[in-house]
Structure 1
Amino acid sequence: MRAAGGDRVRARPFPWEAAMTLGLHRLRLSPQVFWALTLPELAAMAGGPDRSAAISRRDVEALMARFPD
């Protein structure tokens, strides 16, 4: 994958081990129920989206400066 500037961006693999531990162990879902869930459903059951991955205000301002109207 390439970013807007042409730089290569390496995508991180999905954390399946953590998702399966959450769904099958902590939430005690059956495998059938776990594998039938969508990722947004699993995220909601886990307590919502991970806010630690949210973009910071400084990053938003840097993007606004880089890509003005």
Structure 2
Amino acid sequence: EPVGGATVPDYRGRGLYTALLAVRLQEAKRRGARFLTIDAGPMSRPIVEKYGFRLLTFAQAHVRENGSRSQPQAP
């Protein structure tokens, strides 16, 4: 599973994220990955969709008043 990827604002629009994604996908294929999941934010979604990914679900982070993140607990 590719984890993390972002482009510094001053360098956006130059294809850097797309190139990074392409290399990561090639490496996953080389290693024999049969499927991949990506946690893509709104800015990345159009890029990953060009590579055939589609939205299955979404997750929402919950932030406490002190600023720490928490994960929803299973029932």
Q: Shorter-chain TM-score: what band?
A: under 0.3
Q: Looking at CA atoms only, which structure, 1 or 2, has the larger radius of gyration?
A: 1
After TM superposition, the score normalised by the length of structure 1 is 0.23
* Greater fraction helix: 1
After TM superposition, the score normalised by the length of structure 2 is 0.22
* Greater fraction strand: 2
Higher relative contact order (CA 8 A, sep 6+): 2
